[in-house]
Amino acid sequence: MKDSYNVILRQPGEGRDYKLGGSEEIEVTFKADGEEVANKYSITEWWMEKGAPAVDAHIHETNDELIYVLEGTASVLNGENWVQLKKGGMAIIPAGVVHGFRNDSDQRAGILNIFLNGAYEAMMPQIQMMFAQRGD
């Protein structure tokens, strides 16, 4: 039987919000995730203030990820190299590739993050704890 879910409509500003960093310099809004999309993907907006802490280098063993820059400039880690992407730029990161992202610019930056083949929101408490332990 095919996994099914209902149409999901979200207006700007709608979704489930999380704050990261000691001064909450990063805001993550989940637009769709988990059971509401049969665990097929996760769609989030990440808004990073100037100087916000980086999402450290990490690997998803089984999940592809797409990053699309909504506003400003975001730096994306591709293996060992940081690449700056401007508004409208994107990166597709296959499973198994080391990656991360951050805002190196002097203005607020926003990205749309699409995490394919799995739920992501369930990991947010662990991610929040990681940022808190780092002292960001």
Name the residue ranges covered by the structural domains of the chain: 16-122
Pairwise CA distance, residues 51 & 35, whole Å: 34
Mean pLDDT calculated for residue range 57-86:
92
Residue 44 pLDDT > 90:
yes
Q: What is the largest CA-CA distance in the chain?
A: 50
Instruction: Write down the pLDDT at residue 49.
Output: 93
Residue 108 pLDDT > 50:
yes
Taking the CA atoms of 88, 39, 24 and 77 in sequence, report the sign of the dihedral they define. negative
Residue 2 pLDDT > 80:
no
pTM of the model: 0.88
Mean pLDDT calculated for residue range 108-131:
86
Label residue 4 exposed, middle or buried (CB < 10 Å: 0-12, 13-18, 19+). exposed
Beta-strand relationship, 16-20 and 41-48: unpaired
**Cβ neighbours of 34 (radius 10 Å):** 16
Residue 65 pLDDT > 70:
yes
Beta-strand relationship, 73-78 and 81-86: antiparallel
According to the CATH classification, is domain 16-122 in 3.30.70.20? Answer: no
Share of the chain above pLDDT 90, in %: 57
